[in-house]
């Protein structure tokens, strides 16, 4: 859909900033109530039906302040459902409802590839990253990474002339790490920077996995250059796999801890990469024209009516600390999918439900 009016866009930002309203819940609320303003009005009722206390949306004054201060930076917002929302990112179930951006948003509509790797990377990996990012850029790819030190910085710097997107873990006004301030400025002027977190938010440990799913979601495939076991780069690769995107890795010497993650990915089925040609060949079947991003209301069919207490009990009794697919809840409850979705929405807003990758849900604390 086209960008809405100023009031609706402020409503969408307020809804996206509301506690317990995650990406999936946001889409359901828009689908069910037709607008963000109507969804905000319904939040207290839905939370009480789910058996919990509602969380209060941020004050309108705080939302308006964030909006104006973001504009003062030369940045703007794009919302899930806007025509210019990054189309590949719109396809994933955890697509951010709202993104602040600074730079050329049209870069997100070109063919994209993520390059990620270790912050304490080797000189050889830095050199190879520069070579492959430059080659991919001249082959028509936009390089996506996380604006961190090491591999990320090398990838961005080598793709500045051809197009690069940085996804950050803090607010759009936060330049981290400090040594990459100049790189942030370069991307503002010649590339694109995206941020999901509110203005002024400093990066926290929990924010980086959320950032990583945006990096992989923006991209046709993710290339891992160097990665230790249990590193953030491997999290990005796992998320790319869950999103149905290509995972590629550069092999390394087995005794180097920074190579173990990549070697493990290859052993588990990732494409072995030794040149930019390998990346282009892997992604070439995926280079059909990108479709327009669907309106947020297209993602989830609205429920036909409010669930009753019997239906709430039937669904609630099936939820435990063990994540289970929503499809399984539909099958076991015998209820329509829209009714189950409505019950889960109430439970989530009440703080009694957690969502997991792959369309699974559980009780809180799983």
Domain residue ranges of the chain, discontinuous segments joined by +: 6-100+296-355, 112-286
Per-residue pLDDT, 276: 97
Helix (H, G, I), strand (E, B) or coil at 222: strand
Distance CA 181, CA 171 (A): 14
Phi and psi for 115 in degrees, rounded to 5? Answer: -125, 120
The average confidence (pLDDT) of the chain is 93
Read off the pLDDT band of 4 (50, 70, 90): low
Q: Give residue-wise pLDDT tens across range 141-166.
A: 999 999 999 999 999 999 999 999 99
CA distance 261 to 274: 16
Instruction: Specify the range with the lowest mean pLDDT, choosing from 141-145, 348-352, 357-361.
Output: 357-361
Residue 223: enclosing H or E segment and its boundaries?
strand 221-224
* Confidence at residue 303, expressed as pLDDT on a 0 to 100 scale: 47
Burial class (CB in 10 A: 0-12, 13-18, 19+), 149: middle
Contacts 24+ apart (CB under 8 A), 88-91: 88/112, 88/217, 88/218, 88/219, 88/220, 88/290, 89/214, 89/217, 89/218, 90/293, 90/294, 91/217, 91/243
Query: In what order do the strands lie in the sheet containing 324-325?
Result: 324-325, 360-362, 354-356
Over pLDDT 90: what percentage of the chain? 87
Asked if the model's pLDDT at residue 255 lies above 90, the reply is: no
C-alpha–C-alpha distance, residues 74 and 161, integer Å? 21
Integer Cα distance of 92 and 294 in angstroms:
12
Which residues fall within 8 angstroms of residue 96, CB to CB, at 6 or more apart?
A: 16, 23, 80, 89, 196, 214
Q: Write down the architecture of domain 112-286 according to CATH.
A: 3-Layer(aba) Sandwich (3.40)
Chain segment 45-73, per-residue pLDDT in tens: 999 999 998 899 999 999 999 999 999 99
| Choice among 87-91, 126-130, 356-360 with the minimum mean pLDDT | 356-360
Task: Say what the pLDDT of residue 197 is.
Answer: 98
Query: Which residues, in sequence order, are CB contacts of 118 under 8 Å at separation 6+?
Result: 125, 150, 151, 225, 226, 227, 228, 231, 233, 258
The mean pLDDT of 335-363, rounded to a whole number, is 93
- pLDDT tens readout for residues 171-200: 999 999 999 999 999 999 999 999 999 999
Single out the residue of 149, 157, 145 nearest to residue 223, CA to CA. Answer: 145
pTM listed for this prediction: 0.92
Mean of pLDDT values over 261-273: 97
| C-alpha to C-alpha distances, 107 to 215, 218, 244, 294, nearest whole angstrom | 13, 10, 21, 18
Q: Which of 310, 322, 362, 315 shows the shortest CA–CA distance to 338?
A: 315
Question: Residue 347: its pLDDT value, please?
Answer: 95
Residue 268, Cβ neighbours under 10 Å: how many? 11
Which of the four pLDDT bands, split at 50, 70 and 90, describes residue 298?
very low
Q: What is the pLDDT of residue 288?
A: 61
DSSP annotation string for 224-284: E-S--TT-HHHHHHHHHHHTT-EEEE----TTSHHHHHHHHHHHTTPEE-SSHHHHHHHHG
| 222: β partners | 114, 247
Q: What is the pLDDT of residue 249?
A: 98
Cα 260 to Cα 246: distance, rounded to the nearest angstrom: 19
Phi/psi-derived region of residue 164, left when phi > 0, alpha when psi is between -120 and 50, beta in every other case: beta
First and final C-alpha spacing in the chain: 36
> What letters, b where the CB count within 10 A reaches 16 and e where it falls short, cover 157-173?
bbbbebbbbbbbbbbbb
Which of 165, 178, 192 lies closest to 76, judged by CA?
A: 192
Q: Could you give the CA distance from residue 36 to residue 34 in angstroms, rounded to a whole number? A: 7
What pLDDT shows up at residue 177? 95
Q: State the pLDDT confidence band at 285, using cuts at 50, 70 and 90.
A: confident
Alpha-carbon distance of 214 to 223, in angstroms, equals: 15
């Amino acid at each position: 859909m086209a960008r809405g009016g100023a009031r609706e866009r402020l409503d969408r930002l307020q809804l996206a900033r509301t506690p317990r309203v995650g990406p999936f819940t946001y889409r359901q609320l828009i689908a069910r109530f037709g607008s963000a303003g109507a969804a905000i009005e319904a939040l207290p009722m839905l939370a009480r039906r789910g058996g919990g206390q509602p969380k209060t949306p941020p004050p309108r004054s705080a939302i308006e302040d964030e909006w104006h201060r973001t504009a003062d930076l030369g940045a703007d917002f794009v919302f899930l459902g806007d025509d210019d929302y990054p189309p590949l990112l719109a396809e994933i179930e955890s697509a951010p409802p709202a993104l602040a951006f600074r730079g050329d948003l049209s870069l997100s509509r070109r063919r994209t590839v993520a390059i990620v790797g270790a912050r304490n990377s080797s000189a050889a990996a830095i050199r190879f990253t520069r070579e492959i990012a430059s080659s991919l850029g001249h082959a028509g790819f936009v390089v996506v990474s996380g604006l961190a030190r090491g591999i990320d910085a090398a990838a961005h710097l080598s793709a500045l002339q051809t197009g690069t997107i940085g996804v950050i873990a803090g607010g759009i006004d936060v330049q981290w790490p400090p040594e990459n301030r100049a790189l942030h400025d370069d991307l503002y002027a010649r590339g694109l920077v995206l941020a999901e977190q509110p203005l002024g938010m400093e990066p926290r440990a929990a924010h980086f996995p959320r950032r990583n799913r945006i990096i992989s979601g923006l991209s046709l495939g993710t290339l891992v250059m160097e990665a230790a076991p249990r590193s953030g780069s491997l999290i990005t690769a796992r998320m790319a796999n869950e999103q149905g995107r290509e995972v590629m890795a550069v092999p390394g010497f087995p005794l180097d801890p920074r190579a173990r993650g990549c070697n493990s990915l290859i052993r588990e089925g990732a494409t072995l990469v030794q040149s930019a040609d390998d990346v282009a060949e892997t992604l070439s079947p995926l280079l059909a024209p990108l479709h327009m991003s669907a309106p947020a209301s297209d993602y989830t069919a609205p429920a036909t009516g409010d669930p009753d207490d019997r239906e709430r009990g039937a669904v609630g009794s099936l939820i435990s600390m063990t994540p289970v697919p929503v499809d399984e809840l539909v099958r076991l409850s015998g209820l329509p999918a829209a009714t189950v979705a409505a019950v889960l929405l109430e439970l989530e807003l009440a703080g009694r439900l957690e969502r997991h990758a792959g369309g699974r849900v559980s009780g809180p604390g799983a």
